[in-house]
Amino acid sequence: MVKTVIGEETQLTSIETRLNQSSLSCQVGLIIGKISSNLDKGFVLDLVPTPLNDAGAPASWVVESKEDGGKKKGGSKTKSQSQSNASSEVLMVDKEWVAEHARQVSRMLVGGMKVVGIYIWVNESLFKNSTLVLCQTVKGVADAAPVRDFGWDERLLIHISFSPRRWTCKNCSLSSNITSSSLRPCDFKMGRVLSILQKFKCVYNFDIRFPIFRENVSSSGNFAGVLRDVISSHAEELKGAKALIDGNLVNVDEQLASDSMHEVEFLIPFTQHTSFRAYSKEDVVGILVFTGSICSFAYSNSKEPISQALADIKRDIISSLHSRLDVICDEADGQMDSVADGSGESVNEVSAQIPIPQLQLQFLRNRCGLSFPRRVFVPWLGDTYICDYIQPSETLEVLKDHCVELMSMEAPTDTSTILEPEGEAITLSTTSFWETVIPQFPELKPSSINNSSDNKSLVSGRRLEKSSSVSIMGALLVLILSILVGVMLFVFRT
């Protein structure tokens, strides 16, 4: 349980000034920060407002009672009006849109940084009357942007009140039954967060070979489903990896004092994983080859042990793979929607346009390949970075749009500040079982196995050659013995 939350004073003070200067009566958004289970503390780096939805409407608004003139949507009332009518007002939140915002923002965060909750800018009395809808919004955000392999069953809710002016923070329990009593207070204070972060970088190379089973052996489903299983399986292997930091083995229970960027390298042990087991050709129809290089950044509090930073990097590597797959699947869903909206297309034409992530691997007869989006990094707050994923057909202009819309930050004007450390794209391909095995074991060539009659004749020919050579050697031995016996008889007679 998080007992204390510390917010970056410079950033949060600037946000409070901006909100006070606006005419908004309410605003909802995401809390970007990190949670330290070792310290039982939460750290808030930034507050990101949820943008307008596709219809141009805000994510939160105030509804007035009927006797006070209906409802007013848009959150643009003055603070004095909001305070006088607070008893007859209700706060409304577009929970699905806030959750979608959290899902997309979570892809842009690197190791150690998470969507840890939501904030609300509203007056005190309206906040007290809206705790249930806010708890439901927090639950939706947690479901859309899960903290993988962390076991943290709560999120933060920060209330910024303009009447009176103050900040409060509460823990929201993620139990199945969300009620207003799910909120529990915790200490909140301003301080330094960004300046005491430790920085870590890792370039992780991987080469995963996974069997494609026949339909009656595995029910793994389509291309994307199989790949999610592969990524999850590899995450278990990565958990046991040892690490070198700046080329040295270190005590993971200690802390690092240096403020420079630390280079991390993982050493994965050999394991008895499913992909390394032996299968017969009746079970396996092909091989899934998943290779590439991932660049990962992670940020850790200076008081946290090294083990926390290593765990954050490992989670970031796996989350990056999942995020890239999500981007591909989202694009594939869009393609299918456009095909479904088309008119006059036959069933064969539609099936021919099925995107690769939705194909059934067991029925593939030809080789299939897929390139993943590459990861690029954009300067964020202080010396930190956030990331985004660029498709091969996209340019950095898409990256700028995402930064402005999703993160509410200025678009980078100098492209030289954008890091592109992943030179080659991550690739995924399918190949037949024999195409993968034969280069390593030529003696298992299918032609030599299938042509059994030729092999039998070859073996019998070798046996004949062997028997003939034995006969010749026997005749020579008999001749030599005869000569020796004749010589010995002649000597004795003499």
Integer Cα distance of 200 and 202 in angstroms? 7
Number of H helices, E strands in the chain: 12, 17
Integer Cα distance of 233 and 227 in angstroms? 10
Integer Cα distance of 59 and 199 in angstroms? 34
Token pair listed for 107: 């892809």
Kindly report the CATH number that applies to the domain delimited by 4-192.
Answer: 3.40.140
Token pair listed for 348: 């064969």
DSSP assignments along 202-218, one per residue: EEEEEEEEEEEE-TTT-
Integer Cα distance of 293 and 303 in angstroms? 30
Secondary structure of residue 349 in the 3-state scheme? helix
Token pair listed for 286: 């092909």
DSSP 35: E
Integer Cα distance of 180 and 1 in angstroms? 18
Token pair listed for 102: 């959290």
Sign of CA dihedral 114, 120, 124, 126: negative
| Contact by Cβ (8 Å): 30, 105 | yes
Q: Is 354 exposed, middle or buried (0-12, 13-18, 19+ CB in 10 A)?
A: middle
Give pLDDT tens digits along the chain (494 positions): 788 999 999 999 999 999 999 988 899 999 999 988 888 899 999 999 999 999 999 999 998 865 554 444 555 555 455 445 555 788 999 999 999 999 999 999 999 999 999 999 999 989 998 999 999 999 999 999 987 666 678 899 999 998 788 999 999 988 767 776 778 889 999 999 999 999 999 999 988 887 777 664 444 567 788 888 889 888 888 988 999 999 998 888 888 877 789 999 998 876 545 455 555 666 777 778 889 999 999 999 989 999 999 999 999 999 999 999 998 888 877 766 655 555 444 333 434 456 666 666 656 666 777 788 999 999 999 899 999 999 888 888 888 888 999 999 988 888 889 999 997 778 888 766 545 443 443 443 444 333 333 444 433 444 434 555 656 777 777 778 778 877 777 777 76
Token pair listed for 173: 């329990």
N residues, the chain: 494
What residue spans define the domains of the chain? 4-192, 197-372+426-443
Q: What angle do CA 293, 237, 423 make, to 5 degrees?
A: 0
Number of neighbouring beta carbons within 10 Å of residue 373: 21
Integer Cα distance of 231 and 239 in angstroms? 12
| Contact by Cβ (8 Å): 316, 111 | yes
Integer Cα distance of 88 and 90 in angstroms? 7
Q: Which residues lie closer than 8 Å to 93 by C-beta, 6 or more apart?
A: 28, 59, 60, 130, 133, 134, 137
Sign of CA dihedral 177, 179, 181, 182: positive
Secondary structure of residue 40 in the 3-state scheme? coil
| Contact by Cβ (8 Å): 305, 254 | yes
